[in-house]
Amino acid sequence: MKIIKKALKTIKSDRLLLAGCIGILILLFIVAAAPVITKYDAKLFGPDVLAAPGSEGHLLGTNHLGQDIWSMLVYGARTSLLVAVVASFISGLLGIIIGGIAGFFGGWADRIISEIINVFLMIPTLFLVLLIVAMFGSSIINIMIVIGLTSWPSNAKLMRAQALSLRERTFVKSAQAMGESKRQILTKYIIPNGVFPVIANTTMSMANAILLEASLSFLGLGDPTVTSWGQMIYDGKAYVTSAWWIATFGGIAICLTLLVFYLTGDGLNHVLDPKHRKAGE
């Protein structure tokens, strides 16, 4: 209970974080309550083709196949959140491990890993994702893995910087003097104390993962078997002048979700800052 109260107090102390958390809760509610708040199956091809918003019992209209736009938005949220969570988890985990090893061990390991990070940072992420998806297929699982495997360098650089600083601290030197192994020091002291900036950055990278998946779907390289906001925009671009609602509502959903994750990440970056934590105490 004390942990929950402390977490709530921390969230309330920052307006950006509070707004972002409220937005995430709304998204989670939409995902969980999808069967209740939608009247039609998102993949159902109905008889009402290109129905305008509010007509024929469709709140946000239908597309060229008679699919209900509101249902597609709701079920598309599931796809977007799944991509965001899985891809960001892979990115964060790789970044923490690789960056922690580079910063703590230093020497040749740090030089090699730093060069690998620089190579990844020089290559445009979207181009790399497009190349890999084109080679290995556009299933939603491949897309999540590829986004995660191409977005870890920023997390690795943050974790490396933290490890470089923490390895010179007194408590780390004391642990070394007491005979603890480097692996123990890395997992018990370096990573737990240096992970906070990575958490904030990973939250922001969720927004980038959603945007990348939407970009792939818009370019026709998304998974056609799942409902996604990017797929909605791809389907609606041919009907922008006659049925604007097909692409517009998907685009609005993407923008609002990106805003939610950026607010959350910025808020976390603020409250996890040591100066802010000392001021709160």
63 within 8 A of 55, measured Cβ to Cβ: no
Q: Cα(179)–Cα(109) distance, rounded to whole angstroms?
A: 22
Range of the domain at 154: 2-280
Question: What are the pLDDT tens digits along the chain (281 aa)?
Answer: 666 777 677 777 788 888 888 999 999 999 898 888 888 888 888 888 888 888 877 888 888 888 889 999 999 898 888 998 999 999 999 999 999 998 888 888 889 988 988 888 887 777 778 888 778 877 888 888 888 888 889 899 999 998 988 888 888 888 888 888 888 888 888 888 888 888 888 888 888 888 888 888 888 788 888 888 888 888 888 888 888 888 899 899 999 999 998 888 888 887 776 555 544 44
Burial 225-256 (b: 16+ CB within 10 A, else e): ebbbbbbbbbbbeeeeeebebbbbbbbebbee
251 within 8 A of 7, measured Cβ to Cβ: no
pLDDT number for residue 94: 92
pLDDT number for residue 281: 46
pLDDT number for residue 275: 53
| Residues contacting residue 67 through CB under 8 Å, at least 6 positions apart | 40, 42, 43, 44, 45, 46
pLDDT number for residue 86: 92
pLDDT number for residue 274: 56
As for how many domains the chain has, the answer is 1
pLDDT number for residue 279: 47
User: Looking at residue 131, which CATH number applies to its domain?
Assistant: 1.10.3720.10
